[in-house]
Amino acid sequence: MTRLEELRTNLTAVRERIDAAARAADRDPADIRLLPVTKFHPASDLELLVELGVADVAENREQEARAKAAEVPDARIHMIGQIQTKKANSVARWAASVHSLDSVRLAEGLNRGMGLAIERGDRPAGVLPVYLQLSADGDPSRGGVTEENLQELVDVVEAAPHLELRGLMVVPPLGEDPGPVFAWARTLCDDLGPGMELSAGMSADLESAVAKGSNIVRVGTGVLGSRPLP
């Protein structure tokens, strides 16, 4: 089996899982988007995904994502990993969206970076869609904004001319039942107003995420297979 055939087979299998989970939850499968995570996989895999009609992919690391964005310009790369504030200007140049915005400083950095990128012609005029990453356990090393600090961050993003709030993102703590975490995140998402999206669910727990209202599932291994060593 060629790599193209392998990716096509895996995509079909994951989409069938999403469809089945959506039907079980009485949801429209069209309301759930698949975002393959290409971390550690070569740019050639992105090219194959684009060939298969999947232009939107996710990356965790800024340096790797930036290189792939330059190598595969037809791919739209979404940042889902933690971002150092000093990397905000770079991320603003290539990111199709950011799913890991978790602090006021980072929001300000991304907004400033977007302004610079537009001014310099690195990207067309417009806004950067962002999802605020929730901290489900209060551990700052894992990234995420706590529930009590969420509204402050929402206010900063909504006031930023180059950012557009799209919803929330969450990663359940290791070893914890993901269902209640996803349900909590969905409630907070709905509290932000109509149309807000939830980015939640990965290869192992996408069914639970879909059942609790996720709109975007971020799947790496299920689509691309085991990650090569970095």
pLDDT at residue 141 in the model: 72
- Comparing C-alpha atoms, which of 210, 146, 149, 150 is closest to residue 178? 210
- Comparing C-alpha atoms, which of 58, 43, 144, 54 is closest to residue 96? 58
E runs forming strands in 82-215:
97-101, 128-134, 163-170, 197-199
**Residue 230: pLDDT band by 50, 70, 90 thresholds?**
low
**Residue 229: pLDDT band by 50, 70, 90 thresholds?**
low
Lowest mean pLDDT among 17-21, 138-142, 181-185: 138-142
Q: Which tens digits make up the pLDDT trace of 15-62?
A: 999 999 999 999 999 999 999 999 999 999 999 999 999 999 999 999
Report the alpha-carbon distance of residue 230 to residue 41 in Å, rounded: 9
Question: Is pLDDT above 90 for 203?
Answer: yes
Q: What is the mean pLDDT of residues 127-149?
A: 91
Question: Is pLDDT above 90 for 125?
Answer: yes
- Comparing C-alpha atoms, which of 91, 93, 86, 85 is closest to residue 120? 93
DSSP, collapsed to helix, strand or coil, labels residue 59 as strand
Domains of the chain: 3-224 (3.20.20.10)
> 96 with 78: CB under 8 angstroms?
yes
DSSP H or E stretch at residue 35: strand 33-36
Query: For all residues of the chain together, what is the average pLDDT?
Result: 96
Report the alpha-carbon distance of residue 43 to residue 72 in Å, rounded: 7
